[in-house]
Amino acid sequence: MRIIVIGGGVIGLWSAVELARAGAEVTVLDAGPQAGFASPAAAGWVVPALSAPLSGPGVLMHSARQALHREAPFSVAPRLTSALLRWLVGFVRSGSARQYAAGLRAVLDLGAGCVDDFARLQETADLDMRQTGLLMAALTQAGLDEVAQLAEATTAAGYKGGYEVLDGQAARSREPALGTAITGAVHAVDEVQVRPEQVLRALREQLSEAGGRLVIGTASRLGPADSGWRVETNAGTFVADRLLVAAGAWSTELLAVLGVRLPLMAATGYSITTPGTGRAPQLAVKLVEPSIAVTPFADGVRIAARLDLGRPGGPIPERRLAAVLNRTRPYFADWRPGLSSATFAGMRPATPDSLPLIGPIPGHRGLYVATGHGMLGLTLAPGTARYVVPLVLDEVGPAELKPFAPERYLLTGAWRRP
Ligand SMILES: Cc1cc2nc3c(=O)[nH]c(=O)nc-3n(C[C@H](O)[C@H](O)[C@H](O)COP(=O)(O)OP(=O)(O)OC[C@H]3O[C@@H](n4cnc5c(N)ncnc54)[C@H](O)[C@@H]3O)c2cc1C
């Protein structure tokens, strides 16, 4: 069976590898490196411990309070388009206790085994993978309570990893780069970090080993062909029996050609890799209050921050970068990150309920989507790929995929196809 996957990010590539291994003739069409590509910008955390949806009980009030703060870790585009408005309505609607709990369980299921999947990838690839856990460090007692409660709720929902709650001194002995202002930390000890660019390289190699091919070409139009699907690109026209759209934040405009509207917005984040000066952290640290990710790699420390909803992933204003770097200061004894040329904006493909969209597109036989992984695309890529195989090859949607069916938005009425 011939399958085209549009998108060579971590979701498209991991899915393509598994489809090729299952015997399909796979072609990945990718536009090539472009501004806003999310996967290489990622902090590199493989963190099922952070499976909780962004929308939840009390989150709206909390976000509204934060939004009034000049240094809020997120922003919403000032121009309120109808798509953005619908997204926000969907976000509010998905914040009930019931939906939050169901979403958390579903994402935990999708991410189950991901640490082992990355360990297997490491066995055959040159991958800087560190199994040092994730330290969530808080300046305030309220911040520490928030992450401790999150850890409890995630464990109650089925998370199998371990947690330790540490006071300031214990947190500093675990990560000596932390400063005296730290009140405490929660250490999710089973989480791992990888270098996202190396993951992408490894997946491209595995795709080729499994008999698949990657073609650099930007898809402009897609439509049904006699025997399946046709995709027009600037590198020619491709046909296949089935088509999987995994083009991250760009998936919306690709499917719009068919009159399909995905409930997806770009949630742009910044990624800065810099050695900095002073004693650099050796563990992956989440700075709780400003929600900043800090990950040590061999050639520097990556800082990933912000969630700018509905903004394109173009150049980042320097004052915003400086504000992010400033907010790291109180957490560290003397480590000071600097501005760096390794700075990117990546567009996370974000859904209103924080759950990915994985499944068939209703009314278009042979057309599937795998996107909307938001803050967790790296973590959820192996699980997504595992379920995409029976979905696309056998047209069997495993029960685990039900919460991620794109049609959930068609049913709620928050998002309708035109
Ligand atoms: C700053 C930041 C930090 C993050 N940190 C983490 C983390 O630590 N852990 C984690 O789990 N997740 C993290 N994420 C989220 C994660 O990076 C994303 O969820 C994930 O990368 C999405 O992958 P994707 O393949 O869906 O999209 P992308 O990586 O954006 O890939 C989409 C691909 O589609 C291609 N494409 C687009 N349009 C076309 C077209 N018309 N034709 C052909 N190809 C096309 C693009 O070129 C691109 O290659 C982070 C994200 C950001 C921005």
Q: Give this prediction's pTM.
A: 0.96
For range 298-309, the mean pLDDT: 94
Nearest CA to ligand 1 atom 15: 375
Task: Work out whether strand 236-240 and strand 228-233 pair parallel, antiparallel, or are unpaired.
Answer: antiparallel
Q: Give residue 342's pLDDT band: very low, low, confident or very high (50, 70, 90).
A: confident
Residue 160 reports pLDDT greater than 90: yes
pLDDT tens per residue across span 369-392:
999 999 999 999 999 999 999 999
One domain for residues 342 and 369: no
Q: Closest Cα partner for 348 from 110, 92, 51, 42?
A: 42
Q: For 55-69, 194-208, 282-296, 399-413, which range has the lowest pLDDT when averaged over its residues? A: 55-69
C-alpha 134 to ligand 1 mean position (Å): 22
Is position 156 within any domain?
yes
- Structural domain of residue 277, as residue ranges? 47-80+129-193+265-350
One domain for residues 171 and 201: no
One domain for residues 213 and 233: yes
Alpha helix (H) ranges present in 113-259?
114-124, 141-156, 168-174, 196-209, 251-256
Q: List all residues 6 or more positions away from 50 whose beta carbon is below 8 Å from its beta carbon.
A: 134, 375, 376, 379
Sign of the torsion formed by the C-alpha atoms of 259, 262, 268 and 274:
negative
pLDDT tens per residue across span 168-188:
999 999 999 999 999 999 999
Cα(128)–Cα(197) distance, rounded to whole angstroms?
Answer: 10
What is the percent of the chain where pLDDT is above 70?
A: 94
- ∠ CA 27-367-380, rounded to 5°: 70
Is position 75 within any domain?
yes
Q: How far is CA 253 from CA 6, 221, 260, 269, 282, in A?
A: 12, 10, 9, 20, 40
Ligand 1 surroundings by CB, under 6 angstroms:
6-12, 29-31, 34, 37-39, 41-45, 218-219, 246-250, 254, 269, 271, 293, 304, 346, 348-349, 371, 373-379
C-alpha 39 to ligand 1 mean position (Å): 4
pLDDT tens per residue across span 241-289:
999 999 999 999 999 989 998 999 999 999 999 999 999 999 999 999 9
C-alpha 264 to ligand 1 mean position (Å): 13
Mean pLDDT score of the chain: 93
One domain for residues 342 and 371: no
What pLDDT, on the 0 to 100 scale, is given for residue 268?
94
One domain for residues 325 and 366: no
Instruction: Indicate which CATH number applies to the domain containing 357.
Output: 3.50.50.60
C-alpha 203 to ligand 1 mean position (Å): 14
Q: List all residues 6 or more positions away from 397 whose beta carbon is below 8 Å from its beta carbon.
A: 359, 360, 390, 391, 405
Task: Work out how many domains the chain is built from and give that number.
Answer: 2
What pLDDT, on the 0 to 100 scale, is given for residue 226?
84
Amino acid present at 309 = L
Q: Closest Cα partner for 110 from 59, 170, 46, 34?
A: 46
Is position 416 within any domain?
no
Lookup: tokens for 344: 């990117």
Of 350, 378, 393, which marks where a domain is finished?
A: 350
One domain for residues 280 and 165: yes
One domain for residues 166 and 308: yes
One domain for residues 52 and 137: yes
Alpha helix (H) ranges present in 329-403?
377-394
Is position 336 within any domain?
yes
Strand runs labelled E in 205-297 = 213-216, 219-225, 228-233, 236-240, 242-245, 265-274, 284-287, 292-297
What pLDDT, on the 0 to 100 scale, is given for residue 396?
86
C-alpha 82 to ligand 1 mean position (Å): 24
One domain for residues 76 and 174: yes
pLDDT tens per residue across span 67-115:
656 677 778 887 889 999 999 999 999 999 999 999 999 999 999 999 9
What pLDDT, on the 0 to 100 scale, is given for residue 190?
97
C-alpha 37 to ligand 1 mean position (Å): 5
One domain for residues 343 and 289: yes
Instruction: Indicate which CATH number applies to the domain containing 161.
Output: 3.30.9.10
One domain for residues 71 and 152: yes
Q: For 60-64, 155-159, 253-257, which range has the lowest pLDDT when averaged over its residues? A: 60-64
Is position 249 within any domain?
yes
What is the percent of the chain where pLDDT is above 90?
A: 82
The answer to whether 279 touches 333, Cβ cutoff 8 Å, is yes
Q: Closest Cα partner for 324 from 311, 340, 312?
A: 340
Q: List all residues 6 or more positions away from 167 whose beta carbon is below 8 Å from its beta carbon.
A: 183, 184
What pLDDT, on the 0 to 100 scale, is given for residue 415?
57
Of 350, 368, 399, which marks where a domain is finished?
A: 350
pLDDT tens per residue across span 206-243:
999 999 999 999 999 999 998 899 999 999 999 999 99
Is position 113 within any domain?
no
The answer to whether 67 touches 307, Cβ cutoff 8 Å, is no
Is position 104 within any domain?
no
- ∠ CA 332-333-334, rounded to 5°: 95
Is position 6 within any domain?
yes
15: enclosing H helix or E strand:
helix 10-21
220, 308, 376: residue to mutate for ligand 1 pocket, most atoms within 8 A of CB: 376
Ligand 1 atom closest to residue 380's alpha carbon, by position in its atom list: 11
What pLDDT, on the 0 to 100 scale, is given for residue 392?
97
What pLDDT, on the 0 to 100 scale, is given for residue 418?
38
Of 298, 316, 350, which marks where a domain is finished?
A: 350
Tell me how many helices (H) and strands (E) the chain has.
Answer: 12, 20
Q: List all residues 6 or more positions away from 192 whose beta carbon is below 8 Å from its beta carbon.
A: 45, 46, 115, 118, 119, 129, 130, 131, 132
Longest pairwise C-alpha distance within the chain: 67
One domain for residues 185 and 298: yes
